[in-house]
């Protein structure tokens, strides 16, 4: 009886069919782990210099001794730095591995991967 059950089970879900799928899942998990580690390292190393840049911009603007065009440049720089901070925050929340094509390359799709 056990042999019949084993034959039935292995006939429905043969090891040959499961192994490639299992390997694909393991490969995907390993790839995501590497992506996640890289993303967190990038976030860590970019956050401090970005914070310093934003603080220096604030200090220059607080001094108030700027020409109008210089202040406008600093405001634009601050906006771009805030965009970078938002991007780093999104990167920290990446929870899955979905890619999109960008100029012939695969690129992590940040918007679809955040939790």
pLDDT tens-digit series, residues 3-17: 554 544 555 555 666
pLDDT band at 58 (very low <50, low <70, confident <90, very high): very high
The pTM is what?
0.68
Q: Which of 89, 2, 96 is nearest to 50 (CA)?
A: 89
Q: What is the reported pLDDT for 78?
A: 95
The answer to whether the CB of 57 falls within 8 A of the CB of 81 is yes
The span from the CA of 103 to the CA of 44, in Å, is 27
**Domain limits of the chain?**
2-113
pLDDT band at 1 (very low <50, low <70, confident <90, very high): very low
Alpha helices for 1-115 (secondary structure H):
2-12, 15-63, 68-92, 110-113
pLDDT tens-digit series, residues 28-54: 888 888 888 999 999 999 999 999 999
């Amino acid at each position: 009886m056990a042999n019949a059950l084993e034959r039935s089970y292995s006939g429905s879900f043969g090891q040959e069919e499961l192994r490639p799928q299992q390997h694909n899942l393991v490969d995907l998990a390993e790839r995501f782990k590497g992506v996640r580690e890289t993303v967190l390292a990038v976030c860590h190393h970019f956050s401090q210099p970005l914070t310093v840049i934003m603080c220096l911009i604030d200090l220059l603007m607080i001094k108030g001794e700027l020409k109008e065009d210089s202040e406008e440049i600093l405001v634009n720089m601050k906006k771009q730095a805030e965009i970078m901070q938002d991007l780093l925050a999104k990167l920290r929340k990446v929870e899955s591995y979905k890619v999109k094509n960008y100029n012939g390359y695969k690129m992590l799709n940040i918007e679809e991967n955040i939790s």
